[in-house]
Structure 1
Amino acid sequence: MLYETPRLSPADHRVLAEVADMRSALRDAVRQAPTKWTLDLRRHLTASAIAASNTIEGYEVDARDVADLMDDAQETVDVTEANRAETVAYQQAMTYIQSLHDVHDFAYSKGLLNALHWMLQGHHHPPKPAGQWRRGPVFITAVGDPHATEYEGPHEDDVPVLMGELVDWLNTGDTDSDPLVRAAMAHFNLVKIHPWADGNGRMSRSLQTLLIAREGVLAPEFSSIEAWLGMPGHTWDYYRVLREVGGAVYSPKRDTSPWIRFNLRAYHEQTQSVQHRVNRSNRCWIQLDERRDALGVTERQVTALHEVAMTGRVRRSRHERAEGISEQQALRDMQHLMRRDLLTPVGNTKGRYYVPGSSYPQDVLATAAARHTIRDPYESLT
């Protein structure tokens, strides 16, 4: 038996309607924007999701370093080998998830879920078995007390049957529910079954992202709420709601309404955040493009300047891959921007990146750094 999808309250329905309106507007805005910076935005959103999900599990890698590792797993980035391995593994799984968004004969299966788990956790196998159900009990330890059990998963003998139920539900269950609600329930049921020895949290968040991506309203990169979940205060709330709603043991008759409300707030606030970033990014691109002649740069070099504004830095290697140019062409672009004091190098040759120089337009940086306010959609309804 699985945890059931709850009946939504009038407030839930209003929040869902607002999310739908914002996502539709965001889709239109991205379609109208220059392709170059929207590709950069998609890369940033994917990197932020990967960084946040790994942070929840205790692996700390800056989203900008994640973006560099996404381009090249061997990129010279100052991270530990453990953090590099976790980042590359998650990026591999996320890339596959994103590629599934428009597969016409797609179906969920135990094999698919185990394959995704292998992508995430295969580098830990065999000490921590990957791509196969756990063969023993599982206990979630309370924070700060290694002897206290916060949650005990179902018996290992019950896992295959429960996963069969979940796969059936993923394919045919609650199809009248809003896709965002179904995605949240998929996350909850998978993390409560806890079918693997390790990596259950990341797999559950990945499954939620996959269901949202399959909805098809937005490109897959815009579909994850992992960046929101990875914020410190939100991470604490995430664990609290999982604990309070799920119970101390597998209890599928419990009311899941608070979990759905938590997720609807996450969808809403994450969409607000992405919309603000799209607006800032678009304004920065226009400001840079309009003064291209005055700055003495090409459109290709504007792309590098735009990335610097939005993320704080750019690497020669990423500029090379993003523009599809040779190493020498990318190096000449960086040297030209340095000569005009638009960029300043930081670090040695292999690990070097570039930050805004003394002549970088300050109004563009101000636009990129513009503050915004995120509202809790439920507070605005009271």
Structure 2
Amino acid sequence: MLFPTPQLSPADETVLVDVDRMRESLRYELQSVPMVWVGGLRKFLTADAVAASNSIEGFKVSTIDVEDLLAGERDVDVSEENRAETGAYARMMTYIQTLHDVEDFRYSVGFLNALHWMLQGHRHSPRKPAGQWRRGPVYVTDPRDSSIAAYTAPDVELVPGLMAELVDWLNAPSTTHPLVSAAMAHLNLVSIHPWADGNGRMSRSLQTLVIAREGVIAPEFCSIEAWLGRPGNTWEYYQVLGRRGSVYRPDQDVSEWIRFSLTAYHQQAQTVHARVARSRRVWDETANFLRSSDADERTVSALHDVAMAGRVRRTRYEQAEGLSTQQAQRDLRDMVRRDVLVPVGRTRARYYAAGPAFPERVLEIARTPAPLRDPYAD
């Protein structure tokens, strides 16, 4: 038996309508901006989701370092373990993003286990097999005392049947709003805990996939993993999941989980909207600065990265503009000569940060925080 989808309250319905409005507005807005800029934003959102979801499991890599790793940079100052976890999760996330418009797509037990192998294959062992159901009991320990089982997953004998039921539910026609279905998919999978490890990230990824399959907006803009990875939200995430009980008990009302998920959708939509607006202003202001200084306007993407992320590497600028290595190096050297950028580090590990002549107005726009409201407080 899976958790039944609860009836939405009037407040839930209002929040859901507001989320739909923001997502539709964002879809139209993205059609009116430079493709290079949108591509950079998509890469940032993917990296932010990967960094956040991994951070929940204790793997700490900053979003900018994830971006560099995804761009193929090797000289990034992260541990080998964090590098491996970042690469595995990024590959799985990238694959999930490609599935948003596959016409003959269907969920299956084999598909979910294949995703799990992509995530955990580098950690495969007889005790913790990757791409296979767990072979024994599994517990979620209390973060305050590892000797206490905060949650005990269903008996191993029940896992195949529960996962078959979940797959059938995912493939069945539904009149439930896709955002609600995605939240329920997350809750059901994380509660079944079918694998020995990686269940949290798999559940969050499944939620992202269900939303992406809706097709309203590009998959990179669908994930709430970045929101869940913020420290206060991560704590509440564990608290809401914990209040469903210490054992698998699907015959209960999980309206609190839906309210939590709708809050996440709404606040992540607010966050993305604010970043889009701020990033667009940074782009336009940077382009104006380059035109007034008689510099090459294509360097706008490099200066935009510096303003928004604090640094840019040659490879990322080269990829963004489709340049040769020599062209990218020449452009960046010109920005250094103008004191707009300053190089940090040597050879392969070098990146570029804002120099003394970097436009202060651009940095001011990039650093201005945006308010975030609680949709249920209204």
One-letter code aligned to 1:161: G
Cα distance in 2 for partners of 1:170, 1:236 equals 28
2:281 is matched with 283
Cα distance in 2 for partners of 1:321, 1:311 equals 17
Pair 1:98-2:90 in alignment: no
The SS at the match of 2:82 is helix
One-letter code aligned to 1:305: L
Q: Deviation at 1:225? A: 0.3
1:37 is matched with 37
**CA contact under 8 A between 2:342 and 2:354: conserved in structure 1?**
yes
Q: Deviation at 1:317? A: 1.2
2:150 is matched with 150
Q: Deviation at 1:298? A: 1.9
1:54 is matched with 54
Pair 1:134-2:134 in alignment: yes
Deviation sequence 1:21-75 (CA, Å, 0-9, x none): 1111111111111111111111000000000000000000010000011111x52
Alignment of 1:86-235 (within 5 A): 86-127=85-126, 128-172=128-172, 175-235=174-234
Deviation sequence 1:99-126 (CA, Å, 0-9, x none): 0000011000011100110111000012
The SS at the match of 1:344 is strand
Q: Deviation at 1:144? A: 2.1
1:311 is matched with 309
The SS at the match of 2:343 is strand
Cα distance in 1 for partners of 2:143, 2:282 equals 43
The SS at the match of 2:342 is strand
Percent identity, aligned pairs only, is: 59
1:357 to 355, 358, 361: 355
The SS at the match of 1:147 is strand
The unaligned stretches of length 5 or more in structure 1 are none
Deviation sequence 1:121-156 (CA, Å, 0-9, x none): 000012521000001011111112122111110111
Moved more, 290-299 or 318-327: 290-299
1:327 is matched with 325
One-letter code aligned to 1:304: A
Q: Deviation at 1:238? A: 0.2
The SS at the match of 1:32 is coil
The SS at the match of 2:213 is helix
Q: Deviation at 1:310? A: 1.1
2:271 to 267, 270, 273: 273
The SS at the match of 2:349 is coil
Deviation sequence 1:308-345 (CA, Å, 0-9, x none): 11111100011112222211111111101101111111
The SS at the match of 1:148 is strand
Q: Deviation at 1:236? A: 0.3
The SS at the match of 1:260 is helix
Q: Deviation at 1:299? A: 2.7
Cα distance in 2 for partners of 1:157, 1:227 equals 34
Cα distance in 2 for partners of 1:291, 1:237 equals 43
Q: Deviation at 1:293? A: 2.4
1:336 is matched with 334
TM-score, structure 1 length as denominator? 0.97
The SS at the match of 1:101 is helix
Cα distance in 1 for partners of 2:295, 2:92 equals 38
2:84 is matched with 85
Cα distance in 1 for partners of 2:152, 2:231 equals 25
Cα distance in 1 for partners of 2:24, 2:105 equals 24
One-letter code aligned to 2:94: T
2:250 to 249, 252, 258: 252
Cα distance in 2 for partners of 1:146, 1:294 equals 60
One-letter code aligned to 2:262: L
Cα distance in 2 for partners of 1:38, 1:326 equals 21
The SS at the match of 2:348 is coil
Cα distance in 2 for partners of 1:299, 1:28 equals 26
Q: Deviation at 1:207? A: 0.2
2:346 is matched with 348
The unaligned stretches of length 5 or more in structure 2 are none
One-letter code aligned to 2:367: A
One-letter code aligned to 2:78: V
Cα distance in 2 for partners of 1:139, 1:36 equals 45
One-letter code aligned to 1:46: T
Cα distance in 2 for partners of 1:235, 1:79 equals 23
Cα distance in 2 for partners of 1:238, 1:296 equals 50
The SS at the match of 1:350 is helix
Cα distance in 1 for partners of 2:143, 2:125 equals 27
1:261 to 254, 259, 263: 259
Q: How many matched pairs?
A: 377
1:378 is matched with 376
One-letter code aligned to 2:60: E
Cα distance in 2 for partners of 1:319, 1:291 equals 18
Cα distance in 1 for partners of 2:294, 2:90 equals 37
**CA contact under 8 A between 2:289 and 2:359: conserved in structure 1?**
no
TM-score, structure 2 length as denominator? 0.98
The SS at the match of 2:167 is helix
The SS at the match of 2:347 is coil
